[in-house]
Amino acid sequence: MADKAIRKIVIVGGGTAGWMTAAPLALKLGKACEIVLVESPEIGTVGVGEATLPTIRYYNQALGLSPSDFVARTQATFKLGIEFKDWGHVGNRFFHGFGDFGPDIEYRSSYLYWQRLAREIHDMPPYEDWSVAAVMARNHRFTPPTGDQPSASNAYSYAYHFDAGLYAAYLRDYAMARGVARIEGYINEVEQHPQTGNIAAVKLRDGRRVEGDLFVDCSGFRGLLIEGVYQAGYDDWSAMLPCNSAQAVPCASVERHTPYTVSAAKSAGWTWRIPLQHRTGNGHVYCDGFTTDADAARVLLDGLDGRALDDPRQLRFTTGRRRKTWIKNCVAIGLSGGFLEPLESTSINMIENAAGWLLELFPDRDFRPELADEFNRRVARGYENVRDFIVLHYKLTNRTDSEFWRYCANMAIPDTLRHQIELFRETGRVVVYDKEGFSASSYISILAGLGVAPKADDPLIHLMDLRKLHAHYYQLRQVIGQTVNAMPDHTHYVRQLVS
């Protein structure tokens, strides 16, 4: 079977997706397969995916990257979650942290027991007081989790904020040091095998021809191969994710870097704030059917912490996904496979997943369609579950101050998401369809943060003595506070790490 092995992989497009795909392929395949990446300086990258999920740590770890070197090279800071402002109603504030709200009690969610106490005890502190990540964020503290036994010292996780351009360059150096060849040029033609329909080569404008066995499309929104050659089709989800525009601008960094992302709801969308060591990334995601670009820019610039370092950069997009992201010998990864707005920092995670699944399902030159079917199934499931999680933020709103929010409150949503909302609203239970996606605690953060209070308790939580339960929560809250107070300041920790 060795004669059928993939001999050459061609990655079309650089940026975050291209180099995040090239790096693990180079590490795994070594010299067994030639890997070439083709990118053009004429084609810019989106460069707004600077906030991540905790899975980025495992991706970096798999590559053997040094955490301190990574933080220094990418101007990174740490991320414990997202602070949401004005979502649900103006004046609302809640935190989606990486972690739970205390350990399960008798195999039931700690939140359910908190809900019982909140009904029965006057002035019960808010549930976020039992989220270690939320308390750390509130106090601007950070240190990595420690210890092997469950405790407040490790009852949280973390991700990073980083400069996506620097990260792509970091991985480019990593991949090229392991044999990946970089070709600079603009692709203006794609050749297909006349019998199989597989892609045989890409031709550059200067006449060069790059042959390959497996082609990975990281060409961004245009989907040069997956759409341009194979017309994969696109599922348009803009009816339930109406934002179709974004403007991004960096500003001068503030002295104290928050260990969390900020998302603030606006009249026609939302703004992000992502603190890096050398600057702060800012953006405004909005629907151009409910505001103008000029007004969107004004909202963005008026909300900056510091001096703008550039003019806002305009982006347009249609939320959705390709109907297939693996066709014949072409696999689409990154924006070429689909786009979901960056509200929950999922774009880079989707690249991680796709690159990992490509390695797990790596083909030979027969390109068995069953491998493509499984890859497409996983990608579709991932996109659909992230879609529903993001739609949740928009649908559960009591805002009536703008046409945009009135639209979101009344828009149709998938039955699967409606079931998740109603199950929690009626019983406090959470259903998670994708065990590889957002956890039950993440759903609780959004549902409860947006004002959904369960109408009834789980009857089994009433079997525990109320005084015993109250004492448990009181003690746990004290331990969390003491643990967090002993942690270093986040900005100080970052400076010490890179010094």
pLDDT tens track for 211-257: 999 999 999 999 999 999 999 999 999 999 999 999 999 999 988 89
Q: What is the DSSP string of 116-150?
A: HHHHHSTTPPPGGGG-HHHHHHHTTB------SS-
Q: What is the pLDDT, as a whole number, of residue 255?
A: 83
Asked if pLDDT for residue 88 goes beyond 70, the answer is yes
Total count of residues recorded for the chain: 499
State yes or no: is 8 an active-site residue. Answer: no
164 belongs to an annotated ligand binding site: no
Q: Provide the token pair at 34.
A: 């030639």
User: Quick check: 53 and 59 in contact, CB under 8 A?
Assistant: no
Is 79 annotated to bind a ligand? Reply is yes
Both tokens of 49, joined, read: 């995916």
Amino acid found at 230: Y
pLDDT tens-place string over residues 396-441: 999 999 999 999 999 999 999 999 999 999 999 999 999 999 999 9
Selected from 3.40.640.10, 3.20.20.140, 3.40.50.300, 3.50.50.60, the CATH number assigned to the domain covering 2-76+162-237+322-381 reads: 3.50.50.60
CA–CA distance, 101 with 281 (Å, rounded to integer): 29
Give the pLDDT confidence score for residue 112 in this predicted structure. Answer: 95
Closest CA to 228 of 239, 241, 219: 219
Q: Give yes or no for residue 1 having a pLDDT over 50.
A: no
Give the full edge-to-edge strand order of the sheet including 187-192.
187-192, 199-204, 209-211
Residue 2 banded pLDDT, cuts 50, 70, 90: low
Supply the mean pLDDT for the chain.
96
Q: pLDDT value at position 84? A: 98
Predicted confidence (pLDDT) at residue 45 exceeds the cutoff of 70 = no
49 among annotated binding-site residues: no
The pLDDT, as a whole number, for residue 72 is 97
- Asked whether the whole model's pTM tops 0.75, one would answer yes
Q: Quick check: 87 pLDDT over 50?
A: yes
The token duo for 123 is 């002035």
How buried is residue 199: exposed, middle or buried, by Cβ count under 10 Å (0-12/13-18/19+)?
Answer: buried
> pLDDT tens digits, residue range 337-364?
999 999 999 999 999 999 999 999 999 9
Average pLDDT over residues 174-203: 97
pLDDT at 171 over 50: yes
- CA torsion 300-302-306-309 (nearest 10°) is 50
User: Catalytic one among 8, 31, 79, 324?
Assistant: 79
Per-residue pLDDT reduced to its tens digit, 449-492: 999 999 999 999 999 999 999 999 999 999 999 999 999 999 99
End-to-end Cα separation, the chain, in angstroms: 51
412 is in an annotated binding site: no
Rounded percentage of the chain residues whose pLDDT exceeds 90: 95
Rounded mean pLDDT of 374-397?
98
In the chain, where the domains are located: 2-76+162-237+322-381, 99-155+414-490, 245-316
Q: Which amino acid is at 283?
A: G
CA distance 237 to 58: 30
User: What percent of the chain has pLDDT above 70?
Assistant: 98
Q: Is 43 annotated as a binding residue?
A: no
Report the b/e string of 168-190 with b at 16+ CB within 10 A.
bebbbebbbebebebbebebeeb
Bridge partners (DSSP) of residue 282 are 249, 273
Average of per-residue pLDDT across 257-275? 98
Nearest-angstrom CA–CA distance, 262 and 266: 13
28 is in an annotated binding site: no
Residue-wise pLDDT tens digits, 121-158: 988 999 999 999 999 999 999 999 999 999 999 999 99
Say which amino acid occupies 141. Answer: R
